Amino acid sequence: MPGLIAENSQATPTLATAVSAPSKPPGKTFAFQEKLPHLPIPPLEDTCKRYLKALEALQDDYEHEETRRAVEDFLENDGPRIQQELVEWAKTKDSYIEEFWYESYLSHSDPVVLALNPFFVLENDPTPSRGTQLPRAAALIISSLGFIHDLHAGLLEPDTVRGTPLCMDQYHRLFGTARMPTSRGCKMDAHPESRHIVILRRGQFYWFDVFDDENRPLLTEREIQRNLAAIVSDADTLDITQVARNSIGVLTTEKRQNWWHLREILVKDKNNKACLDIVDRALFIVCLDDAAPENLADLCSNFLCGTYRLEGGEQVGTCTNRWYDKLQIIVCADGAAGINFEHTGVDGHTVLRYAADIFTDGLMLMARSINPTAPTLFQAKLSPSAKAYKPPRGSTNGSATKTHDFIDTTPKKLEWRLIPELRAGVRFAETRLSDLICQNDCQALEFKGYGKNFITSHGFSPDAFVQMAFQAAYFGLYGRIECVYEPAMTKAFLHGRTEAIRSTQPESVEFTKTFYSDATPSQKVAVLKKACERHVKLTRECSQGLGQDRHLYAIYCLLQRELNGDLNPSPEDPAPRPAAPNKLPAIFTDPGWSTLSTSIISTSNCGNPALRLFGFGPVAADGYGIGYIIKEDGISMYVCVPFSSQPFSSSFIIHFGERPTDSTLLCALQLCLLQAPSNSAIPRYAPKLPSRDPENLGPLA
């Protein structure tokens, strides 16, 4: 095939062995790292009070009294000792929760698809020439290379919130990183010297180099598009039976132990081992789908888990065109684009910065094509080793070939050698993935009635308002109060991740029940205000590291290690320690611990003009996964629910606000606000022009 070497290259790209992130990276990107405070360990008594408060609305009086006794017993006996153990533990750590966090994610044995990996739906690129698949994919790749170049060069501006610098550590694990199964859980392998990308088309794997050894791009946008066209031309010649049988990517959707077993068989063949090495070490994966979803819900599901479609008994959906152990850029046949990311090492805020920057860079490149003097977002210059490189005017070095050897950027295909056991593994994995996809009902909503402008004009926090609406909608369908989770970002601290906001509080329950009562609009608005104020206070505390979930989980993990004999004194620290308990304290065996640890309604708010929607799967067997974006004059959301949970997500969407009628919850809330007498000087809502303010409206995934 012209322009493509259809073979498996035995020589890996120009990569170094996996190494940890540099201790002192250059430039301004990581300039604040050494100045960031450590995540605080709250006083145990305060954490226990928050724990009881978080459970108050989720338990009856008898259950709550039992939990209170377990907490008091813990504070009087094992609690102070293990709290001191945690304080000592934290003295040698960048973050007291980090190691336990990774253990939790990497010990996850179920498939990562749906359960762990979130997705973003990018807004459409307004550039006319990028309205189709290959131009859009090439633009996203070239902007991603600019982002990575500036990241490695220390040229990216550090993340901040209202002038406060945020930890940038997660960016070390965004590119060139892979989640890899082992005999005991998983591990993360980072390859900071990665120089190539991997392209998937119809389940087939291709790769080509994109950087020189100084992280300078080797290709122009047009050259990348030509490479992609060659890949598509090659992959589309395959018969559908060959596609299904060789879609090795579906193995990443298996239970982790199954994937490890099959991976061990794969690497026994040197050729397969070389193929896996190329995939694992890639900067990121680009999935070029051969189909275009017909509606918004299908578009979201395509980025979350791929589509399920049989043709002649063979799976031809996009679900086989993925590799879930790495960051993936997914581009549909019509040019719609999204991101699916492995969540262990990065949170939504980090990936959101990347998504926003490459989207913005695409707009700036469009402006530059019209006006060559227009600025660009990134500072990546074409490598002298690139075929398209032209020496600067006035250069005395002459042709680039005199001082630089061209680096081959021809796309190459990875050819897997699959023995019968591996072919069976691929087939069974595809079947189980199809079952998993069909077990979930996923729906999307773009509510246009009102958004941030209207909510704030009435004096409410947009995030708190929507959180109360979720609880009211769920109660209206089920008649039950359940545990709600929302993450609060803690990146103001070194190696910060998130803290859990437990949104179900006595104030929110009072609002929910009042909302469905015969109370007047004024009474409903009054309890809504009280509930929202409580939520805002919780969010602020959690962002300061003053929640209960992470602290108690760290204590729980230390106790588990004691029970397993993993915290014995080392030869360097022979001092005797108090005797460890022979069983977990009652606080961790009491039903309250399980209640608060089971997020029936898992939510996350992630807003930016670059995003149209985002979401994730449910984390509980009978739960909801809700990703939402509060825009200036609208609210977008994606809901995913197992079919075993009644009613389905479509019922939730309809009840919440699918139709602009007074019967939907969002419209009913709007009516209450409009009918309630104004008791403040806050002006009533007036329509505004859409804002491009990228500030996040709330906590992030």
Nearest to 172 by CA among 158, 201, 151: 151
Torsional sign, CA 254, 441, 626, 306:
positive
- Which two structure tokens, joined as six digits, stand for 688? 């505004």
What CA–CA distance (Å, rounded) separates 367 from 371? Answer: 6
Torsional sign, CA 6, 9, 15, 17:
positive
What CA–CA distance (Å, rounded) separates 528 from 508? Answer: 8
Q: Where are the alpha helices (DSSP H) in 282-347?
A: 296-304
- Which two structure tokens, joined as six digits, stand for 679? 């008791």
SS3 95: coil
> How far is Cα of residue 362 from the mean position of the Cα atoms in its chain?
22
What CA–CA distance (Å, rounded) separates 622 from 27? Answer: 47
CB within 8 Å of 63: residues ≥ 6 apart: 591, 592
CB 683 within 8 A of CB 457: yes
Identified catalytic residue from 152, 196, 343, 349: 343
What CA–CA distance (Å, rounded) separates 637 from 473? Answer: 14
- Which two structure tokens, joined as six digits, stand for 597? 């640890």
Nearest to 614 by CA among 405, 390, 337: 337
Please confirm, yes or no, whether 343 is among the known catalytic residues: yes
What CA–CA distance (Å, rounded) separates 222 from 129? Answer: 12
Specify which residues 629 forms β-bridges with: 636
CB 151 within 8 A of CB 160: no
CB within 8 Å of 485: residues ≥ 6 apart: 500, 501, 502, 503, 599, 601, 602, 603, 619
- Which two structure tokens, joined as six digits, stand for 279? 């995939």
Torsional sign, CA 279, 282, 288, 289:
positive
Specify which residues 593 forms β-bridges with: none
Q: Give residue 139's identity as a one-letter amino acid code.
A: A
CB within 8 Å of 100: residues ≥ 6 apart: 553, 554, 557
What CA–CA distance (Å, rounded) separates 667 from 687? Answer: 17
What is the residue whose two structure tokens read 């056991």?
421
What CA–CA distance (Å, rounded) separates 644 from 294? Answer: 25
* Sheet strands (E) in 292-394: 310-311, 314-315, 328-331, 337-340
Q: Where are the alpha helices (DSSP H) in 122-255?
A: 133-153, 221-235, 240-245
- Which two structure tokens, joined as six digits, stand for 62? 């008898």
SS (H, E, C) 444-502: EEEECCCCHHHHHHCCCCHHHHHHHHHHHHHHHHHCCCCCEEEEEECCCCCCCCEEEEE
Instruction: Say which DSSP state 683 is in.
Output: P
CB within 8 Å of 685: residues ≥ 6 apart: 450, 453, 454, 457, 458
Nearest to 198 by CA among 344, 366, 15, 365: 15
What CA–CA distance (Å, rounded) separates 244 from 434? Answer: 13
Active-site amino acid positions: 343
